[in-house]
């Protein structure tokens, strides 16, 4: 890859995933971050002005209202950020002939499947967060933009942000017993792997046949587990690394024993064959990537 680096507008630049994207940027990409308060995704005029000045080749949207339970009481705001905002970015990308990468979620599905979800499976969100994220997907698909990648991911963790791994490490250092939900099954995803996946998808555009490769992709680390399984592996690795661990017992519990305002999908495992075939690359197991995270955190 040679020539002038592609100009990339990174929206939501302060977030956990965005910071990993910045840290992982390849030499043929030149990233500029856009973040609040200077860049408000809910202000369509401001978004358009900023993008028309910068004139990116690529827009990566890592901005989202991700506080799942708060979305239940603030669904209007969630919809403006997660639904209307991506639609605005898609319209601008269309007019500037830019490519849009948008990060979506397993919450667009109802969580009642009996096999891993494919990209074309019927959606049916059961929470305000899921509804708002699905509206964002729909806004992109209805915008007339052709050059887009919607990347659905799940159970995201990584440096530079609050996440389940850090919560369990904190609790394990404080408590002798942990009670963790064991009847929600999903795919943990390390931000380092997701950032690499974003750039691999963008590199498809160097292929003259790439026009048929735009659309929705599922990406998560290989395998599946419950939150309980995930917590057990986190505590085990913490002991191996010599981190402070006070926990002696981890008790599996049911979802109804830990009630929260928003419903969570009971099953949100992704089929990632489409991504792996498109980029001709494998995806690390969730256990391997969790171990990697312990080395870099």
Active site positions, annotated: 129
Contacts of 201 (CB under 8 A, 6+ apart): 101, 149, 151, 213, 217, 275, 278, 279
Beta bridge mates, 178: 250
Beta bridge mates, 10: 33, 60
Counts of helices then strands in the chain (DSSP H, E):
11, 12
How is residue 28 written in tokens? 């043929």
CA–CA distances in Å: residue 56 to residues 39, 102, 162, 169, 278: 15, 15, 29, 39, 24
> To which H or E segment does residue 283 belong?
none
d(CA 50, CA 38): 10
Beta bridge mates, 104: 152
Dihedral angle sign, alpha carbons of residues 254, 258, 259, 261:
negative
For residue 111, how many other CB atoms are within 10 A of its CB? 22
d(CA 284, CA 211): 27
CB distance 271 to 120 below 8 Å: no
Return the ∠ at Cα 162 (arms to 161 and 164), rounded to 5°.
130
> Residue 291: exposed, middle, or buried by beta-carbon count in 10 A (0-12, 13-18, 19+)?
middle
């Amino acid at each position: 890859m040679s020539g002038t680096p592609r100009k990339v507008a990174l929206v939501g630049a302060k977030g956990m995933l965005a910071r990993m994207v910045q840290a992982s940027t390849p030499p043929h990409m030149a990233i500029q971050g856009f973040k609040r308060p200077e860049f408000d995704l809910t202000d369509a005029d401001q978004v358009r002005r900023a993008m028309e000045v910068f004139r990116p080749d690529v827009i990566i949207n890592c901005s989202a209202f991700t506080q799942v339970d708060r979305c239940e009481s603030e669904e209007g705001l969630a919809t403006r950020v997660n639904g209307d905002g991506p639609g605005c970015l898609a319209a601008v990308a269309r007019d500037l002939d830019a490519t849009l990468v948008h990060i979506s979620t397993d919450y667009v599905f109802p969580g009642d499947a009996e096999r891993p979800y494919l990209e074309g499976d019927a959606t049916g969100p059961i929470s305000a967060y899921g509804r708002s994220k699905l509206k964002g997907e729909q806004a992109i698909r209805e915008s007339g933009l052709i050059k887009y990648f919607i990347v659905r991911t799940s159970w995201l963790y990584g440096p530079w942000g609050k996440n389940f791994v850090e919560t369990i490490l904190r609790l394990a250092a404080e408590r002798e017993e942990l009670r963790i939900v064991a009847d929600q099954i999903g795919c943990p995803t390390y931000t380092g792997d997701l950032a690499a996946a974003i750039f691999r998808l963008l590199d498809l555009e160097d292929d003259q046949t790439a026009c048929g490769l735009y659309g929705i992709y599922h990406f998560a680390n290989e395998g599946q587990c419950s939150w309980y399984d995930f917590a057990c592996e986190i505590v085990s690795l913490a002991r191996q690394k010599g981190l402070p661990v006070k926990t002696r017992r981890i008790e599996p519990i049911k979802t109804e024993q830990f009630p929260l305002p928003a419903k969570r999908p009971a099953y949100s495992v992704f089929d990632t064959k489409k991504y792996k075939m498109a980029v001709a690359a494998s995806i690390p197991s969730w256990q391997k990537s969790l171990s990697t995270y312990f080395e870099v955190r």
